[in-house]
Structure 1
Amino acid sequence: MWAEPDGRAFVWRRLPQSGSLVREDVRFRPWLLLASLEEVRHLGTRLRPESEGPAPHRVTWQELEGPGALRYLVRAEDGRALASAVLQGASRRLGRPFGNLRELGAQTVLALPPEEQYLVASGRTYFRELRFDDLRRMQLDLETTGLDPTHDRIFLVAIRDAEGRTDTLEAHGDGDAAEADLLRRLVARIRAIDPDVLENHNLHGFDLPFLAHRARLLGVTLALGRAGPPGLRQRPAARGASPGRGGPGQEAMRRARYTVPGREFIDTMDAVKRHDFATRELPGHGLKAVARHLGLAGPEREHIPGARVYEVFGSDPERVRRYARDDVTEAAGLARMLGGAAFALARMAPRRYERLADAGPATGVIDPLIVRAYLRAGAALPAHEPGDGTSHSGAALHLFATGVARHVVKADVASLYPSLMREYRIGPRRDRLGVMLALVDRLVEQRLAAKARARAAAPGSPERHTNEALSSAMKIVVNSAYGYLGAGGLTRFADVHAANEVTRHGREVLARICQELARRGVTLLEADTDGVYFSVPDGWSEADERRVVSEVAALLPPKVRLEFDGRYAAMLSHEPKNYALQPYDGALILRGVAFRSSRAEPFGEEFLRRALRCLLAGDIPGVREAYVETVTALRRRTLPTQSVAAQVRLTKTPAQYLAARRRELPYEAMLASGRTQWASGEQVRVYRAVGGRAGLLPEPEAGETESDPRDYDADFYVRQLRETFAARLVRALTPEDFATVFADPEQPSLFAPSLANARPILTVLDEPEGEQPHAENPWMSPLPLGES
């Protein structure tokens, strides 16, 4: 749907039998919540109680029940006129001008975007009775001559239509007229396909800003919407776009995104970042790396370095066409695989799909749900209030043992904190209607039902996908309820005292679980609110493992569920929430930034994976072999430079960096390569070259080795191999074995002990450790004096 401030709303519905699209044009009365009527009393006879009914050019008010600060629901025919009247009244009363309702403060006014006003008032939400696969989804991807829309051009656009057919549109020539013609043909194709949703990876970070900038320069109207005047509009967003490097409008766009009436713009980058935040398992956030990791990339996937796409198009255009078509195909796969949760959230929350898709923490979803419940009950809402200074006690996290354990089991505590809120009826003190607890109760029950339906559906079926998405969405909201409580001053019903009470019960439950498991003869490894890892004695069967978990689960409060969640042949426990798991059959599983980081150099990650497989198998000589071969490859420079380059995000503009007093490798690499302009947020790959120089590596692609300088500082990376990557294994070996395994292969000792009988060790800690902070990103630390 789309709503305008003047009270017009457009609602598109897909009919269930025919699948055809119909549009409803409806009117609604824009509204605000005010703490007082003082701001509108100057309207005189134009202000009237709601009980007298609406009338032309009149503003009506209704006093809501209860003690909440925001107690006056004020409505009018036109939202802009209503806002103007409130601002005029505030300016008169306070003796200073106000230009925006936000300036009045959250204690005085609650103003939602027009579409949320309509959804809250009407009770409607997106996608009721629809499945994800019922959406008409289209993907598009731009290929450009460069990254700066002020002078670079769009020469090709790949599209994938709602039926899955891929195609490319190309500029017929090199001039402005050819590019303008390409953009007009793209607009015509989009309108002909008529998708509900337009998708791509980094759509809001590159494609839409670049497209809008080029269209503006060329005088092309981007009539992409289904209603209203043509052209893209902007909406506020937590994460916006930054096209080009310092191009026009860059700062303004950084916290805004484009939107149009009647279609939703979905950027799969948002879903990838949410997924990686939860799992910490992705090698990066780029389309190709993620698609390859998630098994979406086909064996024939075309690879071309991004900086060379236009060059390759001149000599082999069909190769670029394949490359671009692969991009939109993978974007479609990502959207379906990772986008179901946002789709399901849109079925619950009074907010547009694209806004839910780009949202950060789900605490932002809870507030509109509660606001809707209070208004539909005719109850006054409390305003945000600052905390009383009470600190929020952290969640429990214990590391009981370090090193390598065998026969490992994970017992999962399903949604511990929401379960404790339900068990002990702990909710926000100011939520006098009990909406938060009712919401958690309802969503937990619905989530369990959705999980059961997903298990009963055929693998890969739309029914399974829809119900898995529903379950994920409900889990997101339910698990964020505790964070909502503890966000003092940031959420409307924040209550740090209630959050600390939940934490206290959580610590008690976790302690009970650990005590009861230990009494049954297992070795505790790590425990937190997500679950407990423990090692069982040799000879135990899976039935024994499940029995122990069931026995302990029976001792917990009724609404707290402990479930058997998995079993593994071995585990390396390094630090809290940083570990490696080896399933009895399957790939190595790495968790935590110590083992998975987008900033880590590929050579180090590859070494770690190889060494961990050997370590968890008890093959210590194999770990030594992996180390020696990596050191030798570094010193002989048989590894490509790409293997030693770290991917970093630039957080400073050129002006900010040049004004700083310390030198940092990424920015020195940019300057040394001749790059004097870049955008904050741009990702680059940098490395340390011989002589302490800073090197910048062009965008890497699979198999790309052309013009490889191989000028990296081999000794520096050998030190990093030992001091950074090998150090992740230090708690799995005795000091003597560690020194032997990671001794310099070019400085052999006559008295080096044999590793033939060396074995990994497990050390049970006298005092369990809590979560430790991780070191600062070394690439963003100051360079030693005298180095560049």
Structure 2
Amino acid sequence: MSTMEDEWLWGWDPTPGIVSVWAEPDGRAFIWRRLPDTGALVREDVRFRPWLLLASLEDLAHLGGRLRPERDGPAPHRVTYEELEGPGALRFLVRADDGRALSTAVLQGASRRLGRTQNHLRDLPAEAVLVMPPEEQYLIASGRTYFRGLGFDALHRLQFDLETTGLDPDRDRIFLVALRAPDGHTEVLEIQGKDGDDDVEADLLQRLVDRIRALDPDVIENHNLHGFDLPFLARRAQRLGVPLALGRAGAPGLRQRPSARGASLGDTGNASPGARGAPGTREAPGQEGAWRSPDRQRRSRYTVPGRELIDTMDAVMRHDFSARDLPGHGLKAVARHFGLAGPDRELITGARVHQVFRTDPERVRRYACDDVKEAAGLAHLLGGAAFALARMAPRRYERLADAGPATGVLDPLLVRAYLRAGAALPAHEPGDGTSHSGAALHLFATGVARRVVKADVASLYPSLMRQYRIGPKRDRLGALLALVERLVDQRLAAKSRARAAPPGSPERHTNEALSAAMKIVVNSAYGYLGAVGLTRFSDVHAANEVTRRGREVLGLLCRELAARGVTLLEADTDGVYFAVPEGWGEPDERRVVAEVGALLPSRVQLEFEGRYAAMLSHEPKNYALQPYEGPLVLRGVAFRSSRAEPFGEDFLRRALRCLLAGDIPGVREAYVASVTALRRREIPTRDVTARVRLTKPSAQYLATRARRRELPYEAVLASGRTRWEIGERVRVYRATGGRAGLLPDPEAAEGEPESAVGASTSASARAACDPRDYDVDYYARLLRETFAARLARALAPEDFIAVFDDPEQPSLFAPSLAHARPILTIVQEPQQAEIAVPAETSPSVQGAGSPTGL
């Protein structure tokens, strides 16, 4: 028998198999379901009553007799209201048969009250109104959620990938599309006729639409789907007059929804003219667009009725935010990292795909099919968390895939909980000026340690919230704590079921995904508390009490570990790294962790997470680990940064392997080899580039250029472009003579290793793609002053000088490195570790040291 708290977490309507929900502001809802027993697809068309939450009925008073209590029942053209219980500001739940009419009524009243026209509900204060998209209104009111009774593999998923002649949809074209059908079969659609002809490309797009409709997937996926494929497809379809009838209902065309990450979309495009979303929150008719002015910052994603559009980039970024173990976010880099790329994986530089297609089309077909296979593998490997979240939160699956766990998951859950309980909701409130105290973070030693153990504090802050019943003051139902309680308990049950299931089985995958999703939400609860003004139940005082308790626990943990003879290295809310004495084995390490864990509060669990042969402790949360078996593990922006030049990171990996093995002469050899390769220009130009994000509009930069020049923008200008898109990422480098250079972004183009270019490319073509005109002296200095400097804490000063001495100008009195060894320096004793330090501790770890000025 379900409890009220279970209904808050899972909803209460048991309808199984929902794979997509689409609702319109006029009260129509369309639900597509896969019947769990047969897999057949059915569609339900239902009516629901759109609703808003208001702080007052003042803006509806002008309706007179058409505004009636909910107990009187609905009637045509009537707006009903229900006053919710409790002290919350948003206490009037108002409903109508048509959400647009309801929105119009509120805006008319607000305009009269304020003496100026109000065009959108989003323009009214957040403390006065709460409006949600139609699907969320429907799901919250009905108690339904996605995917009840379905496993991840029960969904019909299709992946498609475009191959284009370039990256500009106003100039370039689509010449090939690879698809992977729900049954795993791959196929290729390509132009049939003269390359560059409008009718030929239009025919390809129409065949793509027809094929997707014939395969009828529940989900459409690709890597960077919302950043490239859909915006490019929409723009080309608009220019060619091809209706994109990709949905299961409604007029042809893609719709828009706002999103933090996606394409910069314009005011016209291949989109259905119908408005989408809650009244006043989605685009007005005629504004669902495609490409937009580069200087405008609003971003959007596309959506269609009846299908969920999933970008695997979201799952990759969510994984890397916590694991910090990916070499990049591009499909090929991630596929290689996870072992999804086969040994015969076809590779072609992105900029050369169209050129290769003209001479060797079969090679491009293999390349494109490999792309969709890897996208499917990535979706299966990392996409389970979003799938599991959709079983809980009353939002569309595709929105949960790119949602933040606080406002994107917890907020809808809490709104549903309060409305289910008939309770008034508090409005967002600013803080009272109390600052948010930093989390506990201690660096005890720097340099190289051996025989290292990681003891993990499992979900410390949520555990402390549970242990000491710390929740937001304005959450009078205790809903946040109740959700955390249920999630923690049910996560443990899901982990147990996953362990019991056979490896690789659907049961194991489903339960692992459920556990991962619950962990995401549980760990966001503390952040939700501390996000003053951003979340409905934020409470800085409660958040500070959690951090205070956390500092107490971490202090106790560190002191007790030190008392048992270990050397502390680093400690924070995720756990503690420490080195054990020589002669200890794994049983001794586990015994110490168990002994100390028994001293902690009952709901705080200390777990033995791993053991390593050596660790370089550089700065807080910046370290390198060498497992007893397996590849090097790097953490923190000092060792992994999207801005860092690849040649420097490659040097660091080679040098770190030697350093952690105690081979100081090997570190010297790695440095000399890198400097020599630079001076001989053996390093490809792209390996000295920094990947940077353009944040200034072109007009703004050009207006200030005379006073200060910046490398990224100068590089773009030098390439012949005078306009760029805010948020665009470019690969830039410092060329000879102080010039700025620009290369195509390998992550955007999904290029292959240098050795894979192939003999078919002429020397002149290779030179055009790789000029190797970089400033050698500058990059040699960067190697020593930025990358090599990250090893300084592991070497005695005289050894550091000797290791990184200029190979062409060696010192006459350089000491021998034959007997040099890494060092470890104690910088703080456990008894001193009582002051919280903000996570952003040192300016030197905030970036990779790459220049941005000229």
Q: Same fold (TM over 0.5)?
A: yes
SS of 2:827's partner is strand
CA contact (8 A) 1:280 1:593 kept: no
Deviations 1:704-736 (A, max 9, x none): 362232222111111111111111110001001
Distance 1:718 1:249, change over 3 A: closer
SS of 2:418's partner is helix
CA contact (8 A) 2:638 2:848 kept: no
Q: Does 1:237 align with 2:281?
A: no
Matches of 2:773 and 2:114, distance apart in 1: 66
Aligned to 2:124: 104
Aligned to 1:612: 656
Q: Does 1:69 align with 2:89?
A: yes
Q: Pick from 819, 830, 845: which aligns with 1:757?
A: 819
Q: Does 1:736 align with 2:798?
A: yes
Q: Pick from 732, 737, 741: which aligns with 1:695?
A: 741
Partner amino acid for 2:775?
A: D
SS of 1:239's partner is strand
Aligned to 2:604: 560
Aligned to 1:677: 723
Matches of 1:95 and 1:248, distance apart in 2: 34
Q: Pick from 707, 720, 727: which aligns with 2:789?
A: 727
Distance 1:250 1:600, change over 3 A: closer
Matches of 2:48 and 2:294, distance apart in 1: 35
CA contact (8 A) 1:206 1:243 kept: no
What's the offset of the Cα at 1:151?
2.4
What's the offset of the Cα at 1:649?
2.2
Q: Does 10-19 or 170-179 show the bigger shift? A: 170-179
Partner amino acid for 1:781?
A: T
Matches of 1:109 and 1:485, distance apart in 2: 22
Q: Does 1:222 align with 2:272?
A: no
Aligned to 1:782: 853
Q: Does 1:623 align with 2:667?
A: yes
Matches of 1:243 and 1:87, distance apart in 2: 27
SS of 2:591's partner is helix
CA contact (8 A) 1:455 1:464 kept: yes
Q: Does 1:304 align with 2:354?
A: no
What's the offset of the Cα at 1:73?
0.8
Q: Does 360-369 or 131-140 show the bigger shift? A: 360-369
CA contact (8 A) 1:159 1:325 kept: yes
Partner amino acid for 2:348?
A: I
What's the offset of the Cα at 1:249?
5.5
Partner amino acid for 2:823?
A: I
**Mapping of residues 179-578 of structure 1, within 5 Å:** 179-242=201-264, 248=292, 254-578=298-622
What's the offset of the Cα at 1:253?
8.3
What's the offset of the Cα at 1:337?
1.3
Partner amino acid for 1:748?
A: P
CA contact (8 A) 1:125 1:347 kept: yes
Runs of at least 5 residues in structure 1 that lack an aligned partner in the other structure = 784-788
Partner amino acid for 2:170?
A: T
Partner amino acid for 1:743?
A: D
**Mapping of residues 569-608 of structure 1, within 5 Å:** 569-608=613-652
Deviations 1:639-691 (A, max 9, x none): 22222222222223332321233211122222222233332222222222222
SS of 1:648's partner is strand
Q: Does 663-672 or 107-116 show the bigger shift? A: 663-672
Matches of 1:368 and 1:345, distance apart in 2: 12
Q: Does 1:87 align with 2:112?
A: no
What's the offset of the Cα at 1:81?
0.5
Distance 1:233 1:251, change over 3 A: farther
Distance 1:511 1:408, change over 3 A: same
Q: Does 561-570 or 251-260 show the bigger shift? A: 251-260
Aligned to 2:282: none
Partner amino acid for 1:730?
A: A
What's the offset of the Cα at 1:361?
4.4
Q: Does 615-624 or 522-531 show the bigger shift? A: 615-624
Identity score, percent: 78
Partner amino acid for 2:344?
A: E
Matches of 1:29 and 1:582, distance apart in 2: 59
What's the offset of the Cα at 1:279?
2.1
What's the offset of the Cα at 1:527?
0.1
What's the offset of the Cα at 1:248?
4.2
TM-score normalised per structure 1: 0.97
Deviations 1:361-392 (A, max 9, x none): 43431111011011011111111111101010
What's the offset of the Cα at 1:430?
0.5
Matches of 1:779 and 1:407, distance apart in 2: 34
SS of 1:240's partner is strand
Aligned to 1:714: 776
Matches of 2:95 and 2:512, distance apart in 1: 40
**Mapping of residues 16-55 of structure 1, within 5 Å:** 16-55=36-75
Q: Does 373-382 or 333-342 show the bigger shift? A: 333-342
What's the offset of the Cα at 1:232?
1.0
* Shift >4 Å, 4+ stretches: 246-253, 767-770, 775-780
Matches of 1:756 and 1:7, distance apart in 2: 79
Deviations 1:311-366 (A, max 9, x none): 21111111111111111111111111111111111111000011111113434311
Partner amino acid for 2:129?
A: V
SS of 2:76's partner is coil
Distance 1:93 1:651, change over 3 A: closer
Runs of at least 5 residues in structure 2 that lack an aligned partner in the other structure = 1-20, 267-289, 758-765
Aligned to 2:278: none
Q: Does 103-112 or 413-422 show the bigger shift? A: 103-112
Aligned to 2:710: 664
Deviations 1:223-251 (A, max 9, x none): 1111122211111212231379x954556
CA contact (8 A) 1:732 1:760 kept: yes
Matches of 2:217 and 2:816, distance apart in 1: 66
Partner amino acid for 1:294?
A: F
Q: Does 677-686 or 102-111 show the bigger shift? A: 677-686
CA contact (8 A) 1:665 1:779 kept: no
Matches of 2:534 and 2:292, distance apart in 1: 33
Q: Pick from 744, 767, 772: which aligns with 2:842?
A: 772
CA contact (8 A) 1:363 1:481 kept: no
CA contact (8 A) 1:69 1:383 kept: yes
CA contact (8 A) 1:241 1:253 kept: no
CA contact (8 A) 1:240 1:254 kept: no
CA contact (8 A) 2:390 2:397 kept: yes
Matches of 2:719 and 2:621, distance apart in 1: 39
SS of 2:395's partner is coil
Distance 1:679 1:578, change over 3 A: same
SS of 1:43's partner is helix
Partner amino acid for 2:824?
A: L
Distance 1:251 1:62, change over 3 A: farther
SS of 1:241's partner is strand
What's the offset of the Cα at 1:252?
6.7
SS of 2:127's partner is coil
CA contact (8 A) 1:203 1:267 kept: yes
Matches of 2:296 and 2:401, distance apart in 1: 21
Q: Does 138-147 or 565-574 show the bigger shift? A: 138-147
Aligned to 1:8: 28
Aligned to 1:786: none
CA contact (8 A) 2:453 2:579 kept: yes
Distance 1:766 1:253, change over 3 A: closer
Partner amino acid for 1:665?
A: L
Aligned to 1:126: 146
Aligned residues: 782
